[in-house]
Amino acid sequence: MVSAAELAVRETAPPDWDAFAEQHPQASLYHLSGWSELAREVFGHRTLFVEARDPTGALRGILPVIQQRSWLLGNFATSVAFFNYGGAVTDDALVAERMMCRAAEAAEALGCRYLEFRDVQPRRGNWSLRTDKITLQLELPDTFEALAKRLGAKLRSQVKRAEREAVQCRRGGAELLDDFYAVFAENMRDLGTPVYPKRFFRAILERFPSCCELMIIDWRGAAAAAAFLAFWRDRAEVPWASCRAQAKPMGLNMKLYWELLARSIERGCARFDFGRSSIDSGTYRFKRQWGAEPLPLYWYRWERHPRGAAEPQGEEKGRALQLATSVWQRLPLSLANTFGPFISGALPW
């Protein structure tokens, strides 16, 4: 009986972890051990790999956890930090609940204030639940011509507006990182969010070259829009996309997503994941115009001191972070890019 599985918590992934993730239909790209290891190698975070094994020793469940420490937010953990998809992967609902409880025990022993599971399905157990975030996904046809027809004349005209600016599209790997990062860092400053260090993206591209690539839209001789594209099975996902403020009126953000969708179909993907958004936010409306459909995200929490609310407010809603966001937006770009990489790795985003 799988529910009788033995549980263990390791600080390094066992040798059969990735093979299990690669074959299990519930696993996301970020369940592969390398993504958690990046958090340890780049930011110095502690990694926990919760495993469940049946009496024969075969792996039957996995749950990656990343512990973060922040001078602003204290000590907390996430499955998994920096990305949208984590949580337990197993065929048995009871094993999933047991792994979550075991992870919570480990988080408590490490002094964490909370542990957040970024899941995509309902789970058993007495957890706080946050449902204010959703992901938006688009089913892709076999050809880009079919998709372009489905998207409609209004959207196509916005893309043509950008094409009249004689923009160019480039895609590749680490050789495009400087251009990607220049656009991304400026956009993050404008949003009031400390930027990840460039070495974070370089480490991803070096570790996962076959499933990650960059796309750049050039305008007037410089990168004006950029995206990071990740492929997993039959799905494409864009965890990071940015456009310079002065390029948006020319529709370069529309051209960027037009090319991202074309590339995804070229790679044989059946679904495009626009990433997470808050319901009815500006990014939510932008993604919906492409025909993307919202799917719920189930973010469960163990909390050391429960708030008693059915849906706890995210840490980013706190007054201190709202003030920090406002201040950060006013920083000169050079200062934001200097100090941002020292802060971003300890934030819960």
Q: Are 78 and 66 in contact (CB under 8 A)?
A: yes
Angle of helix 153-163 relative to helix 144-151, nearest 10 degrees? 110
pLDDT, residue 199, reads 95
pLDDT in tens, 21-66: 999 999 999 999 999 999 999 999 999 999 999 999 999 999 999 9
pTM: 0.90
C-alpha to C-alpha distance for 157 and 160, rounded to whole angstroms: 5
User: Domain coordinates of the chain in residue numbers?
Assistant: 2-131+297-312, 135-294
Q: What percent of the chain has pLDDT over 90?
A: 75
List all residues 6 or more positions away from 235 whose beta carbon is below 8 Å from its beta carbon.
269, 270, 271, 272, 273
Q: What DSSP line would sit under 92-146, residue for residue? A: -HHHHHHHHHHHHHHHHHTT-SEEEEEESS---SS-EEE-SEEEEEEE--SSHHH
pLDDT, residue 312, reads 44
pLDDT, residue 70, reads 79
C-alpha to C-alpha distance for 236 and 267, rounded to whole angstroms: 9
Low-confidence ranges of the chain (pLDDT < 50): 1, 309-316
Q: Say whether 135-294 and 2-131+297-312 share the same fold.
A: yes
In the CATH hierarchy, which fold is given to the domain comprising 2-131+297-312? Aminopeptidase (3.40.630)
Of all helices (H) and strands (E), which one includes residue 68?
A: strand 59-70
pLDDT, residue 274, reads 95
Q: Name the amino acid, one letter, at 299.
A: W
The CATH classification of domain 135-294, taken from the options 3.30.43.10, 3.40.50.970, 3.40.50.300, 3.40.630.30: 3.40.630.30
Q: Which residue shows structure tokens 């370089």?
A: 202
